[in-house]
Amino acid sequence: MIAALAGQESWRAFVPAGVRRRLRPVRRAYVDWRRRRPPDLGDLRRVTPIDPNWGFERGTPIDRVYVETFIGSHAADIRGRVLEIAAPDYTNRFGSGVEKVDILMATEGNPQATIVADLTDAPHITDDSFDCAIVTQTLQFVYDVRAAFTTLNRVLAPGGVLLATVPGLTKISPPEDDEWGEWWHYTARSALRLAEEAFGEGAVEVRAYGNVLSASGFLYGLAASDLRREELEAHDRLYEVIVGIRAVKQSPA
């Protein structure tokens, strides 16, 4: 009964004023107890992730759903000559009217790579070469990220589009951190400013994905299937898991 009285203002319509006055100390004590009691964390009361492999062992990782949602929402930009990092996955899935796709890697060893180059300094990539560049989950491993944005703007043809995603709230990726260094995690604000420095003000739009539940689930290694669709799709700007960047190269004045 106390719980009902504490949580519903409609109790005033049913409880006489004299009884309400006598119940006030009890009601206040109950409300104070509810505020102070520790939450039931269940399986989350742990200091190790449920799946240390990003949620892959359980299904599709939460951040991967956000990346695919962003790239898929801009499928019309994936056309003509396309540059993608590591593999042509998103070009093959979402592209239409693609004439050629080049795969960029920073080091030798990837048999799919057609270009080996450092995004921060790639003079052998010709200016104005690509209609679209897809750079997903890469820029956190580039220390001189400003130089990378400058290169991407240079190699795009006028009107060409950069589609990039960067991590917000995430764990560090051990293999890449050991090899390249994981230097940056981004916010929508920082991603917008960095991209605009290279592409120009008004040429960039960003979209952030995530909320406190999906961010917590991702850090614990839950899969997207562990959350309901509405939980994945809810957006809270204070808890950005993935930030998507769309930048358009401007034509010369």
CB 153 within 8 A of CB 248: no
Query: At CA 46, angle to CA 188 and CA 177, rounded to 5?
Result: 45
What CATH number does the domain containing 188 carry?
A: 3.40.50.150
- The total of structural domains in the chain comes to 2
d(CA 65, CA 209): 10
Same domain (yes/no): 7, 88 = no
Domain hosting 179: range is: 44-248
Q: SS3 string of the chain?
A: CHHHHHHCHHHHHCCCHHHHHHHHHHHHHHHHHHHHCCCCCHHHCCCCCCCCCCCCCCCCEHHHHHHHHHHHHCHHHCCEEEEEECCCHHHHHHCCCEEEEEEEECCCCCCCCCEECECCECCCCCCCCEEEEEEECCHHHCCCHHHHHHHHHHHEEEEEEEEEEEECCCCCCHHHHHHCCCCCCCCHHHHHHHHHHHHCCCCEEEEEECCHHHHHHHHHCCEHHHCCHHHHHCCCCCCCCEEEEEEECCCCC
In a domain, 137, yes or no: yes
Same domain (yes/no): 85, 146 = yes
d(CA 26, CA 3): 10
pLDDT at 33: 60
Same domain (yes/no): 133, 8 = no
d(CA 57, CA 53): 7
Same domain (yes/no): 6, 88 = no
pLDDT at 8: 47
In a domain, 253, yes or no: no
Query: At CA 54, angle to CA 144 and CA 39, rounded to 5?
Result: 110
Same domain (yes/no): 32, 107 = no
- pLDDT by residue for the chain (253 residues), tens only, comes to 444 444 445 556 666 666 666 667 767 766 666 666 667 778 888 999 999 999 999 999 999 999 999 999 999 999 999 999 999 999 999 999 999 999 999 999 999 999 999 999 999 999 999 999 999 999 999 999 999 999 999 999 999 999 999 999 999 999 999 999 999 999 999 999 999 999 999 999 999 999 999 999 999 999 999 999 999 999 999 999 999 999 999 998 7
d(CA 249, CA 253): 12
Same domain (yes/no): 76, 140 = yes
Q: Enumerate residues 6+ apart whose C-beta is below 8 A from 204.
A: 192, 195, 196, 245, 246, 247, 248
pLDDT at 13: 61
Same domain (yes/no): 82, 31 = no
Same domain (yes/no): 32, 60 = no
Q: What is the pTM of this model?
A: 0.85
What's the one-letter identity of residue 163? L
In a domain, 74, yes or no: yes
pLDDT at 4: 46
In a domain, 134, yes or no: yes
